């Protein structure tokens, strides 16, 4: 199957992009594996005709928004992100009426319609920078209350939080941190900013998946506790065979991210199934929000 995928990929000038939470065998065959920000940059810049996006729906959607002339496919159409469905374009319209002077920042984990309605997108690796790049003194941050409250700590702006959350990260508690500290004394705990505010406050490092991987790879320390989805163990262990990584909690897994199979990737290449299609007017508006984000240095 892997050989067939490689052959077809070449014949069709296709590229496979995968998120760090994808199953190991998918990360192993991908041309590029990254966090949400690097993947959207890659989707915008790569010169393939076809992008097979191994991730959840909003990620493949972002690739199509940024590369409308490419065929973008998602191996498993039902791989969604529950947090992305927690806010709607109607919510944004309502919030704008309540806070007329505020700029709307939408986490990239959101629908195309929400991206079309906001002022600028952000990811977990640039949320603070994006919030501070805006001229407005007031921000509406959707949908993730945890990432929003993390960004709030690094700005003088008033940040109005929404009620969304990631079910995978939001269930982590300070008790998990205490347990990990007791089990691994002196070992640094690295968490994703989608974790609750008190968990983030109790951790030693906060960052996106790529930032967690970079931090532990560049550190002289030999052991780390990882507070994000366990898919990151694959790149972490591959890059750092001499280091040890412990998961902050059991079953730290995103079921949607694990829906992608090699069979589905091959089927995309063979049959062109699951192509992402977006209404052009909405795409153009959503594209402006994503491009604004990519322009922030």
| Residue ranges that bind ligand 13P, judged by CB under 6 A | 35-36, 109, 123-125, 166, 192, 194, 208-209
Indicate whether 229 belongs to the interface with ligand SF4 (CB under 6 A). Answer: yes
Instruction: Looking at 154-196, list the stretches that DSSP marks H as alpha helix, in order from N- to C-terminal side.
Output: 174-183
- Residue in 125, 126, 120, 123 with CA at minimum distance from that of residue 139: 120
User: Does the protein bind ligand SF4 through residue 189 (CB under 6 A)?
Assistant: no
The Cα–Cα gap between 282 and 276 comes to 14
- In the bound state with ligand 13P, the residue whose beta carbon lies nearer, of 35 and 91, is 35
Rounded to the nearest whole angstrom, what is the least distance from the CB of residue 63 to ligand SF4 in the complex?
A: 15
DSSP 64-84: HHH-TTSEEE-S-TT---GGG
With CB under 5 to 8 Å by kind, the binding choice for 35 among ligand SF4, ligand 13P, none is ligand 13P
What is the rounded CA–CA span in Å between residue 223 and residue 235? 15
Strands (E) in the chain, as ranges, are: 14-19, 32-34, 50-54, 71-73, 103-107, 120-122, 138-142, 158-161, 188-191, 205-206, 223-227, 244-247
Q: How far apart are CB 257 and ligand 13P at their closest, in Å? A: 8
Q: Closest approach of Cβ 280 to ligand SF4, in Å?
A: 26
Query: Considering CB distances under 5 to 8 angstroms, the limit depending on partner class, which of ligand 13P, ligand SF4, none binds residue 256?
Result: ligand SF4
Helix (H) or strand (E) holding 100: none
Phi (first) and psi of residue 277, to 5 degrees: -125, 135
For residue 118, the partner it binds in ligand 13P, ligand SF4, none, with Cβ less than 5 to 8 A by kind, is: none
Q: Which x/- pattern over 8-47 shows residues binding ligand SF4 (rule: CB under 6 A)?
A: ----------------------------------------
Residue 82's binding partner among ligand 13P, ligand SF4, none (Cβ under 5 to 8 angstroms by kind) is ligand SF4
Q: Is 87 in the site for ligand SF4 (CB under 6 A)?
A: no
The shares of helix, strand and coil residues in the chain, as percent rounded to the nearest 5, are 45, 20, 35
Backbone angles phi, psi at 93, to 5 degrees: -60, -40
- Site track for ligand SF4 across 96-125, x = CB under 6 A: -------------x----------------
* Residue 209 binds which of ligand SF4, ligand 13P, none (CB < 5-8 A, kind-dependent): ligand 13P
Please identify, using beta-carbon distances, which residue of 55 and 67 lies nearer to ligand 13P: 55
Print the binding letters for residues 242-281 with ligand SF4: x by CB under 6 A, - otherwise: ------------x-xx------------------------
The span from the CA of 122 to the CA of 130, in Å, is 6
Are the beta carbons of 199 and 191 closer than 8 angstroms?
yes
Work out how close the CB of 213 gets to ligand SF4 at its nearest, in angstroms, rounded to a whole number. 16
Residue 216 binds which entry of ligand 13P, ligand SF4, none, with Cβ cut-offs from 5 to 8 Å by kind? none
Strands 14-19 and 50-54: parallel
Residue 165, phi then psi, degrees to nearest 5:
-165, 160
């Amino acid at each position: 199957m892997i050989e067939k995928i490689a052959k077809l990929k070449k014949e069709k000038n296709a590229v496979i992009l995968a998120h760090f939470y994808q199953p190991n065998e998918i990360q192993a065959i991908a041309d590029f594996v990254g966090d949400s920000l690097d993947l959207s940059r890659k989707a915008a810049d790569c010169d393939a005709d076809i992008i097979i996006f191994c991730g959840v729906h909003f990620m493949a959607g972002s690739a199509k928004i940024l590369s409308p002339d490419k065929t973008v496919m998602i191996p498993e159409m039902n791989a969604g992100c529950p947090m992305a469905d927690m806010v709607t374009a109607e919510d944004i319209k309502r919030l704008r009426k309540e806070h007329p002077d505020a700029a709307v920042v939408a986490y990239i984990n959101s629908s195309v319609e929400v991206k079309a309605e906001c002022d600028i997108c952000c990811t977990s690796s640039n949320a603070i920078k994006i919030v501070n790049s805006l001229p407005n003194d007031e921000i509406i941050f959707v949908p993730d209350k945890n990432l929003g409250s993390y960004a709030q700590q690094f700005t003088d702006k008033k940040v109005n939080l929404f009620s969304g959350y990631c079910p995978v990260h939001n269930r982590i508690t300070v008790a998990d941190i205490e347990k990990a500290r007791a089990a691994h004394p002196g070992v640094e705990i690295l968490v994703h900013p989608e974790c609750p505010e008190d968990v983030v406050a109790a951790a030693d490092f906060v960052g996106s998946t790529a930032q967690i991987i970079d931090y532990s790879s560049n550190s002289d320390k030999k052991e780390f506790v990882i507070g994000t989805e366990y898919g990151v163990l694959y790149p972490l262990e591959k890059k750092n065979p001499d280091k040890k990584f412990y998961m902050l909690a059991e079953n730290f897994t995103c079921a949607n991210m694990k829906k992608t199979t090699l069979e589905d990737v091959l089927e995309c290449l063979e049959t062109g199934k699951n192509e992402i299609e977006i209404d052009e007017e909405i795409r153009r508006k959503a594209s402006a929000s994503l491009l604004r984000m990519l322009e922030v240095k």
